[in-house]
Every structure is written in structure tokens, then in C-alpha cells.
Structure 1
Amino acid sequence: MKFNQLVIFSLFAILTFSNTNKVNAAEYVGVEQCVNCHQQEYKDWQTSHHDMSMRHASNESVLGNFNDASLIEHEQTHKFYRKGAQYWVNTKGPDGKFNDYQISYTFGYQPLQQYMVKFPDGRVQLIPLAWDSRDKKLGGQRWFNLYPNMQPHDEFFWTNNGQNWNYMCADCHSTNINKNYDTKTNTYNTTWSEINVGCEACHGPASKHITWANTPNQAGLNKGLDRNLKAKVESWDFVKGKKILLPNQSKKSDQLDTCGQCHSRRAQLNNSHDHVKKDFSDKYLLNGITEDLYYPDGQIYDEVFVLGSFKQSKMHQAGVVCSDCHNPHSTKLKAPIESICFQCHLPSEYTSAKHSQHQDGTEAAQCVTCHMPKTVYMEVDPRADHSFQIPRPDISQQIGTPNVCTSCHSKESNQWAVNALAKQFPNSTYQKSDSFAIAFAQASSGVPNSGDALSYIAQNSNEANIIRASALARISRYPGKNAMIAIMRGVKHEDPQMRLGSITGSAAFPFNDRWQIISPLLTDPVFAVRTETAGALVANWSNMSPSQQSLLSPALNEYISIQQYNSDRGFGLMNLANIHIAKGEWVKAEQYYLKAIEIEPIFASSYVNLADLYRQQGEDAKSLSILQQGIVNQPTSGVLRYSAGLNLYRQQQLNNAINYFQQATEVESDNPQYWYVLGLAQEKVNVKQAMSSLSKAYKVGKNPQHLYALCEFKIKHRDPTLQACLNSLSQIVPAQVVKQLTGR
């Protein structure tokens, strides 16, 4: 998927069930129905992050100072004040002016609290101004701006879709959410059972459980609840010679999929499928270990909300689940940090003196300091990396990833850390062992033989499946025989994420080959797998036989339903338009592109695709006009300027084309393609500038093809620095390639 989310029931609704009140379908009954029988769990839950996930703005919920307080930044003043029982903020709106907005809801409470404004069209938006709820001595008890440099054209400006609660937040911060977006009116009527994360957000609707509790000798799976949230492993056994306890017996548990609904970076596909009793990918699409979210070695980079990291870990492979460490009701650790780790790791083997070599009792000596390093998000919120990695400063030396050793010992080098670990663990086979990180980093840099390394990782059963799936996805840039074998095996793997990785990885193969490899997945039992397959193949609709189109159609209809569910975002409407393009239905495609531009005018891809539609129809002037409209609405987009340059180049308006290409490189200076095309266009105007642009293209992207083009230019124009260029090229391509180039 190309992603490139109030009848209001009282929180304390009181419902009564008798022995004769039989319910055919389980219904949501509310937290208060749980209190009498589950007093300790209720007590733990109160004031937890789940309890405080979202509240109506009131004296009980609001932590921030609204007593005529202010926040001054960039010579502008944001004001916080009250009107009776109401909470108000005066801040910059989408018109660029400061306006008054009423605060309707609170979001979270520690270490910061956010606030939301409800608009007449049903949209609920998070303002960028947050309250630092930490103790004052820690720097808290102050207002601060989460996005001080955001402008109205930025996705995460507070009135835009990036800060829209209905789409982005509601599914995780409240219970039993229905987004209820109306495409025709572009409005929301979002509903919930409980405004915060209540018992049934995790346990499921509890009406049958209430009936079970009120019925003597009542039988039933999980006592009227259909989710098994117990730990996977009942006991961990000591085995002589082992430093870590081993699982006695691993049983099926719904816990990880239940927690993963919210504690993951994922896209929601629908609101009708069950991600717990069926498969997680029936309702959500979990992000892989991608360049924009993780470092090449799998450490967290952007906010990933745990699950993607945890699935990399040996803990996950051993059968550990969330409740082995956390109290699910209070969301706190079940015991002191070291005691948690010593549940499985023998204390005698992992003392400070024997293992970490840090002073006993200090923070540095704690297991989590080295194996769960924290990254601060939202200015004040440190999040622990749940991949439980062993520090690898040797990898940091090679590819520049962070490592926890030198993050604390900031004056020391990676080599110092390598030496320190070698001294402490002289018999370690882990340090300097092969790692997927090297292959991931090289693939990101365009190293030509990366496909073979990625193929090996994808087929290595010793790697976590999420790593293998991510290797398959990254292989799309490196098609070849080994890549095809890895993808064909991935298509047959039992883990849906492996099959999803294979779909992405097959992108570069010719349609006939790709169809043969992935078309069996059109009838896959998992919703995301068959719909992603349909989305991948539909672009070749015109090349399909009638029987192929017939086979594709059922999954394609399901893929369409996903885009319709997400039609409150530009990408959903754009994907619908792309389907019509593939089918040659250009009028319908144009309507969807225009609708995408209407509801999300800052989404650049809609303009680019619509402009390309006009180009195919021979309407270059109309194409250029829509691109120029896009540049006005999204001034930070390089692709709009790049596309406008291509438009003018086709019309032989060379100087104007070069101007747009130059603008594209100024707006997105790290995009090698923009520099490359600029260089090609400049050849007819200024050869020296052309070679400078090609040199920049290679410097930015390290793509051997760009260096090849630069050397070719130097040969063509008899540049005196040719030999240096050829020497560099010979280091990264086969000798035969250089020989052919110079022979020409």
C-alpha cells in the first residue's frame, strides 16, 4: 500500500444483566461493569496511561496552566485562558492569523499532555502546544511547542491531516471507535463506547462475560470473552549449562496482537475485521524495518511504538510477551528493572562485576541502559528500544549507526568501544559476527551486489521474520536470479509479513514474471496479503488476459474498500484514481485526483499524477497548470517542480525547464535524481555546470549509474579530470564496464 486515521456513551454507563438476558452478539458494557469483580485491576488501571489516554477537558483532566498563561516564541504569543468551565487557546490558525479555539479534550498526562479542538465538521485536531507535566525541578510545568517551525502547508501543521485525531489517533486512544467519515460531505461523525482506553479495548466487548458471571455453572471460552490474553509461556526452566531460563511450553496467546493494535507503527485497513481472533494483518498493515523508521541495524529512529522493534528481538522468539514485564492494567513494570530481567537471566551470570563492568547500583549498570537505549521524542518523552540489541560498535564503525557505548562515553571512539568489549568478552562469537545491518546499509546506498546479500538474509531462518520480510521488501531495487528465488520462497512462507515483503520485493520484475510469482497470493487467507497483491498487480490491468482480470477482481474489490475506508486522506483517493487509470477510465480517475486535491491540498502526489494524466491526453498546458497550483499549495515539494521541469523540457522550453529542475534541487537537495536530470538538461547550456550537477547526483546518492554518466560526459567533452573519474568508477563497477566506456 502506498502510504510514501459522537453518540457518546457515558464512561460510567450502568447496565444490568439478568440470567434471562441472553445476548446473541457481544456488546460493550463499560468500565463500571467490571469494578465489583476486578477491584485490584480497576485500581491499577485508574490514572494509568490507558485511563488518561483521552478525557473531556475538565478540572479533573486538564493539567496545563490556563490561568491567563502565555508562551512566547518567534516574537509571537500563544495565550491560554478560561471562560468559566471552558478552556481556550489563542494560537495561529491555517489562515496564518492568531485565533481563539476552545479545547474540547485532553490527550495523555505524563510526561506531557496534549490538547484537542473539535471543529463543526466533526474533525478533532491536536494543537501543537503541549504542557510539560514533569516536576519543575526536571524542567517541567511549562508550555512548549511540539512543532515550532510548522507552516500551514506542512502535513503536521495542527489543522492538517497529520494532526487529525479521527484518522491518526482515535483507534488507539479510545474504546470501540468508529471513524464514520462521509466522503460526500467531507465530514466525520466519529463514535466511541468509552472516551479512553477501557477494559474492553483489550478484552473485547464484555456483555457475554457479564452474562457468564451472573449465570451459575456457565461454561464458555475464557469465561464469556473471546480473547486469550494470558502469557505464552507458563513457566521458565533452568537447564544446566545455560545462563538463561528456557520456556517450558509455549502456548497460543492473543496478547501480542491485542497490544500491537496500538503499540505499533501500522496502517489501518478497515474497521470490520478482527485482528486478534484472525490475523493482525486482516485489519492492520505493520510497517517493516524501513529506512525512514529504523537505522539499518534495526534500532529505532522515528517513533515506531514498540511492536516492530520487539519482533526483531530474541525475547519475542523465545515466547516473551508484554505482560512478562509489564502490568497491563497499570502499564508499569511488574517489579524493579533488574528483577524483571532476572526472571530469566541468571543473576549469578549477569552481575555488574561479571557482565557490564559498571558500578553496581548505578543507572549505567542496569540491563536496560545498554540493551534498551532510550530515544527522546516529543521533546520530553524518552522511549526505550524494545529490540533488546547487544551493542555493536564495530557496526557503528562501518555504517555510522549509533551505539549505546559511545552515546554514554561520548569522548571515546567506536574503536575504543570495540576494544573494551573484546577485553570484557574475549570469547564472544557475537561481536564482529555477520549482521543484516551491513546489507541494509549497502542497499540503501545503492551498492550493486546488494541483491545477493538481501536474498541471503531473506532466506536465513536464524533471522527474525520481520528482518527477513524487510530484506525482501528492500530487494525490489535489485532484481536478479537470487532475488527471484528468495521472493518465491517468501511467497510460500507461513508468516504473512514474509508474504507481504515478497509482494514489495517483486516490483522490479516484468509483469509476466511478477504475475507468475505473486498471483497465488490473490486468494491468500490474510486480508492484507491478498489486497496488497491486487494493488501491486492492477497497474498492469491492460496487459492481463480476461482470466487474469477475473482472478484479480475479488481481491481488487477488497483493495478498493481499503482506499474507500481511507478516503479522508489524499493517498486513498489517489489510489482509487490510479486503479481507474490502469483500466483506462480517465474521467473517473480525474474526478478522484481532483477530490484528493480538494480534501488534502498539500498532498503533492495527487497533483503529479493528475498532471501525468493530462500529459497522456496531450494537454501539456493543463498539466503544467495543475503542477503550478500544487507548487503554490505545497511550496516545499521537490517533485512538483521536477515534474514541471519535465513538462517544459518536453515542450523544448529548455531554460524554463532548467529553472524548475534547479528549484527542485534547492527544495530537496538530497534527491540524486533531481541533480542527475538537471545535469542532463544543462549539457546544452553549460557543460561545466552539467558536470557539477552530475557530480552532485553521485555524491548525494552514491548511485554508480550517476558516476558512469559523469565519466561519459568527461569523455565526450574531453575533460582533463577524466582519469580521476574513471579511477573512482573502477572501484565500484566491473572492469569490463570501464573498458566498454573508454573503448567507446
Structure 2
Amino acid sequence: MLQNLLRTVRKHGYVAFVSVCLTNAALVLFVGCGPESSGSKEADKRSAEESSGRDSVSVVSNDDWYLAETCRECHADQYDDWLGSHHQLAHRRLDSEKDSEAFSQGEVFDQAERRYQLAAKENGFEMSELETQLPSEVDSVIGETPIRQFLIPFPGGRFQIQGLTWDPHKKQWFNVFGDEHRDEGDWGHWSQQGMNWNSNCAWCHMTDYKKNYDIRTDEYSSEWKIEGISCIQCHADMESHVASARSGEYKKRETPPNIELAMDNCASCHARREELTANDFHAGERFDDHFRLVLPDLPNAYFVDGKANEENYVYASLKLSKMGHKGVSCLDCHNPHSHETILSVEDNSLCMRCHSTGLNEATIIDPVTHSHHPLDSVGNQCVSCHMPKRLYMQRDARRDHGFTIPDPQLTIDYDAPNACSACHGDKTVEWARDKVESWYPNSERRLALRDRAGVLNSYYEGEEDSWTDVHRLLLNEENVYWRSAYLRILGAMAPGTPESLQAALTSAKSKSPIERESALRIMANRNDRLADVQRALYDSSRLVRNQAADTLSTQFNPTQSAFQEWQQYAEANADRPAGALRRAELAVLQGDAALAKQLAQQAADFDKNNAHLLYDVAIMFARVGDIDGALLKIDQAKRIDTSLGLIWFGEGLLYAEKGDTSRSIQSMERAVQLDPVQDRWWYNLGVAHMRVGQTERAKEALSKAVELNPSQAQYKQVLDGL
């Protein structure tokens, strides 16, 4: 019912202030409705005023406390800065004038030669992907510049982001996936869960957004107060603030604002992170109580020199940087309402605010002497070298916030991009390397960064002994974000070593929740530190408690607050494959086999062409006793990819469970042919041969297991018993 009501509101071009009964609710819209050519702030202001229903708002009751226009009564300058900003225009209604040019293109082709039909209808616009039966009605727009993406309503309360995207500057349609071919069953196809707006986009494009995903019906009843990012998303206690201001009882705050809390608010959107709560973060709360930050322990997220590779949304980059470590915040450089920098970057005014004064412990620099480029050249701009741009979504060039130093040698060694080659494309990388070496001979900082790059590259390449160098870096690192990344690596690669344990014990005492949580990952992978993990259930940070509860999930206690939080986390992320399987695990523990199978199936449906995922789903089916259903999932996985040894090994285990040892052996032999370095697989194959009296073949398989992993005593014991 609520979703139908929302759709009714949308059809009439309003933004919904959503409540169950909608009584006395003002329907507001914060968009600029003028044509793009005349999209001035004055036009945006008139549009916002006209659509806000200001004359109908009761000043006495303060029912309008959440509106940006209400804030304008006292904060006119900030309101004017916000109008036309990326925040205000993060999400808007379709506009017949502004969007008509895009939808007048008729039939268009994207880079992969997919065909689309664009059309204006009586009540809106349509974009149809031809040769499919997918929905085509356009609901709304996210983003303004440099690109605009369009939402398509789907059944179950879903809104999907079309891959076909409008470039308002070049007046072109293009596909954010480029020429990549994506099937309708792929996670990343625009119609599938990887491009679902409710789960992936809405929190950072709406004000006071609630996803409201129902794990049992696999449907959304999402709601929000305002489309776009408005004042109350970033400012706490606004209802009482408005009431006190209008009554004349407001008292100006005497203490300075908490910059760290302000940064946490920025990070809630401007960070690549996993949500720990169900859209429960509010301004004034701690980031680490609601999110888990992605760091360079995740391969491919960052280049080896610390520059962002994938879309990481700048916060972690800043925190990993030398500047972030010294306390430089978003507000040191940006007007939080307009997003523009507070000083020019073209003439280095912004950077020299610190680097000519020593503010924030900055090194004093003369730009021309430092850059070795002429005064008015691009090469003399600080941001050209230390904040190089990288292209995302085909057309969106974003500056890196890691403030790294350009080193062409890292391009030669590890294929990391360097700023020099971005301008000097007519020169070789070796030429650029030699220039840098001549300008900054024997630079200790550059040598240290090369050392770290080499260590990270070894880890990314899977070199087993690279953990020793990671530990060495950890011992000399002050930045808690790099320390946390190193601890996560040790937890994944070498949790059982004395060095890792000592590092974990030291970092478990850190004031930083992210460092404590990363240290706990080492404890979580050790059988002798269970007491440490149990104590972490009572940590002051939800981030740490979540990691502890996740580790101890098989001991789930519904009366303990940390496990209650963990269940909320599992359900908040159950509209993703890993999240659905995590919640299915809990259903198994709770004895709810039907829910476990349902969630496992939903996980498979989210990413239909993922053979690895189907293996995990098959195991979940087997855990609740449905072996035949599990084998069907394995068959589906093999139809997608027959080259994965894991799939064949899983099939072997399932046939063993059914008592069909002959077919189990056939599948396991195929598995070790495809991936002959899996010692456990050889061991299971040997045991299977033993069961049918094939002693010599059992000896061969068990000998191979011992050869691959001589430290596993069980293998040799079974072999010696033959």
C-alpha cells in the first residue's frame, strides 16, 4: 500500500515526505526546473520556492523543520551555496524541459552495439532496451554533471539504474559499462541486483533514506524524507534546533564543532564501505559504529602506490595519506554546502594555504622550485602531480585524494599510473623516471614508497612469504589506516605466527576502532584466542563487536546485544549474495531450514551466472539435508563453467553424502585434474578409494596430499595405516 502511495506521489511530480499516514505532511521538491542553458542558482532558487509549498507550511507547528527553505530563514548564504550543488541535485524528478533533449534522440546504439529506443510520452519518458522484455518507464534521475543516470521501476519495489547514460556536456548517450557485454543474468547487468538503486545508490542520493528490504518476500518498501541530499542529512537535532530558533530560545554553541564527527558524516557517503546497520547512521554519530571501511588489503581496490584504482570515494584515500594522518579534513579544502574548494587550485592558492604557512604541520614549499615547471603551466599546479585524475563510469574524471607523489618507476615495475605520463604522453616512462630522479635524487620518501609498493605487489600476487615484509611495514607505521590494512593482511595470510599474534595484542589496545577490528581478524583465525574474541563482544565500537559476533556466529545467542546487532547486520545486507548466505547461516542455526533454502536461492538469483556462488548455494542446500537440490545447483554451475575444480570437488562430496562412492570418485578425480595443488582434495579422493578397496589408488592420492602439505599429520596417519 505504501509503495503504491509513493508511486502516486511520484507520478504527480512531487518528492515524498514519507510517513505511514502522510497527515499534515508537506510535499516538497528540491530541483531546478529551468532549462540547462539558463540553469542559474536564481532559477534553481525560484524552482525550489515554487515547489516547496512554503505558503501552506505552519510556522507555529514547525512541521516544516526538515525543509531546506526552513534553514534558509537564518542561513541564507549556506542555502544559496547548496542550490545547484551536487548534493541538491543528487536525485530529482524528471523535468519535461531539462530532459527532453536527451529523450528526443530516437533509436541509439551503445558501444557494444546494443539498441535502445528513447521516447517522450504524455506523462514522462521511456527508454527501451530493444530485443528484451525489460521495463522501460523512466521514474527519476540521479546525478547532474558530468553524467545523468535514469531509474526504471521494477516489480517488488525495486528501482534499477539503466546502464545507458546521458552526457549533458557532449549531448551524447553512452553506456557506463563501455563495450563490455553483460547478460541479463549477470550481477552487473542494469536490470540485476548489482545495479539496484534501493541497495546500492539511494542512501547517498536521498535524505533520511530507509531501504526497508524484506528478506522473506525479497521486496522493498523504501522511503525517504527528501530527494537529494538536504540539510538534515548532515546536521543533527534539526527539529529541536528549528523550534528553539523560532521561539527565540536558541543559544549559540560556545564550543567549536567536532571536526572528526563532521568527517564521519562526510564518510557515510564519500567512502567505499559496508553497512553494519539498516540505514541507521545519523549526523553526529561515529562512522565506525555503522560502517566497515575498505582498505588496500583488498586487491585491485588501490594501486601499489596508494592511489585509488576502483571507485573508493576518497575518504579512505585521505585517511591513508600523510595529510590525512596530520589531521587535514574535508573542511580544510571544501565548502561543505557548495562542494567547491574554498580557494583556487589552478593558482595553487588552496594548497599554499598550508604549504606557505606551515599550517597542519605542512612542509614549506615554493611551487616553481618544487615542481620544476614554469609558473603558469599545468605542471606547476599542485593537483596535477599530487591529485591526478582517473576516469570512472567512462566520463567522470575524479581527482585522487591520496596526495601521492608521482613515481614513473612504479609504472615500469607494477604498471601503476603516474602523473608525469598523463601530460608527457609523447615521452617514454623511462624519460619521466630520469627527470624525477634528477630533480629529487635519493629521496627517502620515494624509496620508502617503493618499498611499500613492492610489498603490496607481492601480497597481491599471492606470494606466501610476503607477510613477513607486511609485518615489517606494520612495525614502522604510524598511520592507523595503513596499520589496519597490514593487520588485515596478516589475519588473512599468517594469523598463526608469533609475529602476527604480538601485532594483534598490541593493536587490540588502540584507541582506533578500525585498528582494533583489524587486530581482531588475527585473533579470529586462531584457535587459541577465543577468549579475546569473546571479550570483543563488549567493545565500545559496533565495528569491533560485529567482527567478534561474526566470528562467533555459530554460538549465536539471541539475548546478547552484540549478536542482536549482528543479526541486524545480516538482514540489512541480505539483498546481496554474501549477505543472503550469511543470514541463511543463521537460519540454519535457528533450525529454519525453509528460510535457509529460500535465502540461498535468493543469493543465487542475485547473480545467476556465477558458478562459484552456485557452489556456496549448493553447500547451503546440503546443510539442511536437501542433497538432490544441492546437486541440481552443481549441475547449474557446471553449465556455466566446467573448468572450476571446486565445482567438481563439491559434486564429489555430495555424491559421497548420498553413498554413491563410485560417482564421488569420478567427480573428485576430475577436480584434482583441473586443480592439482589442492591437498585436501587429494586426501578426500584417497579416502574415497579406501572405501571401495582400491588401496593402491588410495596410496597414490594420499601420497600426493602429504607431498603438498607435509605439516598435516592426518594425511600421513591415514597413509601409514594402509
Q: Answer whether TM exceeds 0.5 for this pair.
A: yes
Aligned to 1:718: none
- Paired residue for 2:84, among 24, 47, 50? 47
Kindly indicate whether the alpha-carbon contact (under 8 Å) linking 1:112 and 1:132 is maintained by their aligned counterparts in 2: yes
The Cα of 1:112 is off from its aligned counterpart by 1.0
Aligned to 1:469: 484
Is 1:35 matched up with 2:35?
A: no
**What CA deviation, in whole Å up to 9, does each residue of 1:25-64 have, x standing for no partner?**
xx85211212233222222222211111111111255275
**What CA deviation, in whole Å up to 9, does each residue of 1:687-739 have, x standing for no partner?**
xxxxxxxxxxxxxxxxxxxxx989979xxxxxxxxxxxxxxxxxxxxxxxxxx
Kindly indicate whether the alpha-carbon contact (under 8 Å) linking 1:275 and 1:282 is maintained by their aligned counterparts in 2: no
Residue pairs, 1:536-575, within 5 angstroms? 536-539=551-554, 541=555, 553-575=560-582
Is 1:577 matched up with 2:584?
A: yes
Aligned to 1:321: 329
Question: Quick one: distance in 1 between partners of 2:289 and 2:680?
Answer: 44
Aligned to 1:440: 456
Q: What residue identity is the alignment partner of 1:455?
A: H
Aligned to 2:148: 113
Aligned to 1:287: 294
Give the 3 Å change call, closer, same or farther, for CA 538–54 of structure 1 in structure 2: same
Give the 3 Å change call, closer, same or farther, for CA 617–119 of structure 1 in structure 2: closer
Question: Quick one: distance in 2 between partners of 1:637 and 1:53?
Answer: 43
- Paired residue for 1:77, among 98, 110, 115? 115
Q: What residue identity is the alignment partner of 1:47?
A: G
**What CA deviation, in whole Å up to 9, does each residue of 1:341-393 have, x standing for no partner?**
11011299644531111232122221111101111011111111101012234
Kindly indicate whether the alpha-carbon contact (under 8 Å) linking 2:87 and 2:230 is maintained by their aligned counterparts in 1: yes
Aligned to 2:25: none
Give the 3 Å change call, closer, same or farther, for CA 398–506 of structure 1 in structure 2: farther
Aligned to 2:377: 362
The Cα of 1:293 is off from its aligned counterpart by 1.1
Aligned to 1:145: 175
Is 1:158 matched up with 2:183?
A: no
**What CA deviation, in whole Å up to 9, does each residue of 1:558-597 have, x standing for no partner?**
1011112223333222102223446777665445424544
Give the 3 Å change call, closer, same or farther, for CA 349–416 of structure 1 in structure 2: farther
Give the 3 Å change call, closer, same or farther, for CA 601–52 of structure 1 in structure 2: same
If the length of structure 2 is used for normalisation, what is the TM-score? 0.78
Question: Quick one: distance in 1 between partners of 2:533 and 2:218?
Answer: 36
Q: What residue identity is the alignment partner of 1:307?
A: Y
- Paired residue for 1:174, among 206, 212, 218? 206
Aligned to 1:390: 405
Q: How many residues were matched structurally?
A: 626
The Cα of 1:420 is off from its aligned counterpart by 2.3
- Paired residue for 1:529, among 544, 549, 572? 544
The Cα of 1:678 is off from its aligned counterpart by 13
The Cα of 1:222 is off from its aligned counterpart by 7.9
Q: What residue identity is the alignment partner of 1:353?
A: V
**What CA deviation, in whole Å up to 9, does each residue of 1:224-272 have, x standing for no partner?**
xxxx7x5xxxxxxxxxxxxxxxxxxxx6442211111111101222246
Aligned to 1:608: 615
Question: Quick one: distance in 2 between partners of 1:59 and 1:577?
Answer: 45
Residue pairs, 1:256-295, within 5 angstroms? 256-271=263-278, 273-274=280-281, 276-289=283-296, 290-295=298-303
Question: Quick one: distance in 1 between partners of 2:529 and 2:429?
Answer: 43
Q: What residue identity is the alignment partner of 2:385?
A: C
Give the 3 Å change call, closer, same or farther, for CA 49–501 of structure 1 in structure 2: same
Question: Quick one: distance in 1 between partners of 2:442 and 2:616?
Answer: 57
- Paired residue for 1:486, among 491, 494, 503? 503
Give the 3 Å change call, closer, same or farther, for CA 330–63 of structure 1 in structure 2: farther
Give the 3 Å change call, closer, same or farther, for CA 192–86 of structure 1 in structure 2: same
The Cα of 1:471 is off from its aligned counterpart by 0.7
SS of the residue corresponding to residue 117 of structure 1 reads: strand
The Cα of 1:407 is off from its aligned counterpart by 4.3
CA RMSD of aligned residues (A): 3.6
Question: Quick one: distance in 1 between partners of 2:597 and 2:540?
Answer: 34
Q: What residue identity is the alignment partner of 2:289?
A: D
Q: What residue identity is the alignment partner of 1:485?
A: Q
- Paired residue for 1:421, among 411, 431, 436? 436
Q: What residue identity is the alignment partner of 2:356?
A: L
- Paired residue for 1:497, among 504, 514, 521? 514
Question: Quick one: distance in 1 between partners of 2:237 and 2:154?
Answer: 30
Is 1:641 matched up with 2:647?
A: yes
Residue pairs, 1:182-201, within 5 angstroms? 182-201=214-233
Kindly indicate whether the alpha-carbon contact (under 8 Å) linking 2:600 and 2:621 is maintained by their aligned counterparts in 1: no
SS of the residue corresponding to residue 116 of structure 2 reads: strand
Give the 3 Å change call, closer, same or farther, for CA 393–486 of structure 1 in structure 2: farther
Aligned to 2:470: 454
Question: Quick one: distance in 1 between partners of 2:590 and 2:456?
Answer: 36
The Cα of 1:297 is off from its aligned counterpart by 2.7
Question: Quick one: distance in 1 between partners of 2:341 and 2:234?
Answer: 18
Give the 3 Å change call, closer, same or farther, for CA 486–659 of structure 1 in structure 2: same
SS of the residue corresponding to residue 79 of structure 1 reads: strand
Give the 3 Å change call, closer, same or farther, for CA 100–190 of structure 1 in structure 2: closer
Gapped runs of 5+ residues in structure 1? Answer: 1-5, 135-139, 231-250, 542-548, 666-672, 685-707, 714-744
Kindly indicate whether the alpha-carbon contact (under 8 Å) linking 1:491 and 1:518 is maintained by their aligned counterparts in 2: no
Give the 3 Å change call, closer, same or farther, for CA 85–18 of structure 1 in structure 2: closer
SS of the residue corresponding to residue 387 of structure 1 reads: coil
**What CA deviation, in whole Å up to 9, does each residue of 1:580-632 have, x standing for no partner?**
44677766544542454466655656632342245567865443212223556
Question: Quick one: distance in 2 between partners of 1:600 and 1:425?
Answer: 50
Aligned to 1:694: none
SS of the residue corresponding to residue 466 of structure 1 reads: helix
**What CA deviation, in whole Å up to 9, does each residue of 1:1-22 have, x standing for no partner?**
xxxxx47122225475667x58
Aligned to 2:234: 202
Give the 3 Å change call, closer, same or farther, for CA 597–415 of structure 1 in structure 2: closer
Aligned to 1:696: none
Q: What residue identity is the alignment partner of 2:474?
A: A
